Structure 1
């Protein structure tokens, strides 16, 4: 069995363990992300695994975008990701196989998610061959199937007390042949209602609620509702943002409109309420 799954603690670095475990299919570092994390896709004897770490304590390489957090902060978020994974079971959530404590911090070992990452760099969003564009132009029923899973998984997360933070298209792995969704990188989700202590919290501006830019504002279920609604609107309209183009029909478009209202009191109060309204109004194609 691969060391990645058999070990719980090692004095070696995460990269040493990963490289000795199998074939490195991909490495994600400062060249592909600005978080400071380092991750790998590795083929082991038993399975393909996605391995995520907080990276190193060394300063970012020259030319790299400055990470949001230092190494200690990134470690804290990875431990939160472990808590989330162990508190909620849902088929749309990436499956955490094990956690290894390495010399340079925790190593989170997930099953490889099927499909393609929908979020792409801004420069690639106009490319019709990108997963971003292909999902936005996909058959209506496939998109609605993905939306069903997105909402159902967040009902489960809400039941365990989690509030979305930094949920965007870069969290969506979608198998565009089947419509299967896997959610990844939920490290910054918060447990329970909290107060915006950053001013601008983590996230992609395209999907963030107004309170995520306001120091001292509440972050709660209505915040999650807004972001979910924005994802549905963005991709459900084929990127036009015009609700008359929404793939789920006029009644479902009204649900999305209510979810994304700037005034918090005008939105659904919980993800459960949003999901129930969605199920009642979403058309079958």
Structure 2
């Protein structure tokens, strides 16, 4: 259905593909995304935005690089919490990523976050289990967390479905912090994401995932709380070790 390449701007192509019913053009990165309705389906389409736009947080080449990373990550595996990537279309404005459309509320929005935190503990734990299972798969494929926070999580309260998105800044394999204060929310960030030259690796993923639970789960059961505290203090040696400890603790509780 989707071509491999187009010779017109993404918005022009999308206008011909179907109806643009949503526009997301206020992203800090400079990316521009769309919701598109065709005769048969809805899609979420992400682009690098205007190549000539001035004064953006990331320049055009950097935005293109991150989109290609997002495509590589999506193609490295599938998971119910991650929208399917249907196509990557090359355009004069860089790659155009066509994902399935997902309904839901961004948990970065205060009202949605508070509504989520008021859910029964069992429902929140089911969401965290899905988040952690996804990251176990990403970790096994060699991906290390980057700029993850509640703005990367969307929850459909009716369908009880988690969607994780915007993983463009994840990287394969361990690397060093070359920025000092890296991209991200300090509510979620590991100490090494604030220290120039510090190693960023699977331990970082474990820390950030533990912080997600501490932010979103008001009263963790004691066995799980102990795992989260270890992940954010003495630290687990790997994401796998954190995930194993989480699963072991989960098997001992009833909610």
Under TM normalisation by the shorter chain, which class is it? Answer: over 0.9
Of the structure 1 ranges 20-29 and 97-106, higher mean CA displacement relative to structure 2 is found in 20-29
User: Counterparts in 2 of 1:1-285, with a 5 A limit?
Assistant: 5-30=1-26, 33-60=27-54, 66-120=55-109, 125=110, 130-237=111-218, 245-246=219-220, 249-261=221-233, 266-282=234-250, 283-285=253-255
Q: Structure 1 residues 179 and 268 mapped into 2: Cα distance closer, same or farther (>3 Å)? A: farther
Offset of 1:138 from its aligned partner? Answer: 1.1
8 Å CA contact 1:119–1:132 kept in 2: the answer is yes
Q: Could you tell me which residue of structure 2 aligns to residue 241 of structure 1?
A: none
How many Å apart are 1:79 and its aligned residue? 0.4
How far apart are 1:54 and its partner, in Å? 0.5
Counterpart CA distance in 1 for 2:2 and 2:52 is 28
Q: CA deviation at 1:58?
A: 2.0
Which aligned segments of 4 or more residues in structure 1 are displaced greater than 3 angstroms? Answer: none
Unpaired segments ≥5 residues, structure 2 = none
The number of equivalent residue pairs is 253
Cα deviations across residues 210-260 of structure 1 (Å, max 9, x unaligned)?
A: 1101110000011111110000011111xxxxxxx32xx101100011111
> Under a length normalisation based on structure 2, what TM-score does the superposition of the two structures give?
0.95
CA contact (8 A) 1:255 1:277 kept: yes
| CA RMSD of superposed structures (Å) | 1.2
Q: Is the 1:166–1:189 Cα contact (8 Å) retained in structure 2?
A: yes
1:104, CA displacement in angstroms? Answer: 0.8
- For structure 1, which runs of at least 5 residues remain unmatched after alignment? 61-65, 238-244
Structure 1 contact 142–178 (Cα < 8 Å) conserved: no
Following superposition, the deviation at residue 35 of structure 1 comes to 1.0
What TM-score, normalized to structure 1? 0.86
Residues 281 and 178 (structure 1 numbering): CA distance in 2 closer, same or farther, change over 3 Å?
A: farther
